[in-house]
A = this chain, B = another copy of it.
Amino acid sequence: MSLQSHSFDSLSENRLLNFLTPNDRNRLLARMTAVSFGLKDVLYNAGGPMPYVYFPRNGVISSVTVMADGRAAEVAATGREGVIGLTAYYGAGQSPEKVFCQIPCDTWRLGTELFVDEVRRGGRLQALVHGYTRSVMRLVAQHAACNCLHTVEERFAKWLLMSRDRAGEEEFPLTQEFLSYMLGVRRASVTLAAGMLQKAGLIHYRHGKIRIINGKKLESAACECYQIIREEFEYPL
C-alpha cells in the first residue's frame, strides 16, 4: 500500500464520485487520500475493523467469505463503479468478509465516519449509494444461485469477464491457485477449465498472467449471470 499526494481534478475516475456535482465531489476529494494497493494487499480482514472506505479508480477489489476450515468463495468484486466499505453505512462495526486487492489498483480513501456522515446528509450521494446497494444485492444474489447451478468453466469465464470490465484491461495477473480460492474449487479444476478455454482460443495464460483473446466467444462460454450483472451495473442516474 502506498500513499500519494494529489491535485483536485474535476473527475475522479470513480463512477460514484463522478456522478456527484463538482461541488460535492470536490468537498469529498478534499477529505480523501490517494491510496494504492498491490496484489493481495488486504483492505479488511473478516471480523476486522473498517476505519476507512475506498473508492477504486481502477483495478479490482475482492470480497470473500471465509469458512472455519479456511476454504473461501468470492461474494463480490468491486471496481471503479463502486465503493468498498458500504456495510459500514448500514451499521456494521466489523467487516463481514475478507477484502483484498485482486488486480492492483489506485483508490480514494475516506474516513468511515466522514463517509457515513456525508451519505446521511442525503442528496445525490445518498441516492447513488442506495442505487449501488441495490446493485450489490442483486450481484450477490445472482452469484449465490450461480454457484449452485453452473459449472466451474462457466463461472471461470464469468469471473474473467467481470474482472476485465472492472479493470478495463484485457490482460491481468492471475494464478490458478488464486482463482481456485475465489471460485471455491480445487486448483486442478481451474487448470482443467483454463485448458479448455485456451484450446478453444478464447484466452491465453502463462505463469501468473492471463489475457482475454476473444471476449465475444468468452461471453458465450460464460453463464447468463455475467450479462445480468453487467446490465445491473450500467445504471444511469
Give the residues in chain B near A131, CB-CB below 8 Å. 90-91
Residues of the B chain whose Cβ atoms lie less than 8 Å from the Cβ of A75: 141, 144-145
Judging by beta carbons under 8 Å apart, are B137 and A87 in contact?
A: yes
Query: For residue A76, which residues in chain B have a CB less than 8 angstroms away from its CB?
Result: 141
- Taken residue by residue from 69 to 108, chain A's Cβ proximity to chain B (1 for < 8 Å, 0 otherwise) reads as 0011101100000000001011110001100000000000
Contacting pair A145 B90 (CB below 8 A) = no
Interface size on A, residues (CB 8 A): 38
Given contacts A133-B133, A183-B148, whether A141 and B97 have CB atoms under 8 Å apart is yes
A224 within 8 A of B: yes
In the complex, A67 Cα to B91 Cα: how many Å?
Answer: 33
A18 at the interface (CB under 8 A from B): no
Q: Is the CB of A145 within 8 A of B72?
A: yes
Q: Mark A21-60, 1 if CB is under 8 A from B, else 0.
A: 0000000000000000000000000000000000000000
- 0 or 1 for each of A121-137: is its CB under 8 Å from B? (1 = yes): 00000010011011011
The answer to whether A96 and B141 have CB atoms under 8 Å apart is yes
A221 interfacial contact with B, CB 8 Å: no
Known contacts A148-B73, A148-B147, A148-B184; A141/B65 CB under 8 A:
yes
CA distance A133 to B140 in the complex (A): 13
Whether A198 sits at the interface, judged by CB under 8 Å, is: no
Smallest CB gap from A68: residue in B:
B224
Cβ of A15 under 8 Å from chain B: no
With CB as the reference atom, state the residue of chain B lying closest to A182: B148
Distance (Å) between the CB of A157 and the closest chain B CB? 16
Is A174 an interface residue when CB atoms closer than 8 A count as contact?
no
> Closest residue to A127 on the B side, CB-wise?
B91
Known contacts A72-B145, A136-B137, A140-B141; 6 additional CB pairs below 8 A are A75-B141, A87-B138, A91-B130, A96-B137, A145-B184, A148-B185
Residues of B near A147 (CB, < 8 A) are 144-145, 147-148
Closest Cβ neighbor of A126 among chain B residues: B120
Considering only CB atoms, which chain B residue lies closest to A148 in the complex? Answer: B184
With both chains docked as a complex, state the minimum distance between the C-beta of A66 and any C-beta of chain B, in angstroms: 8
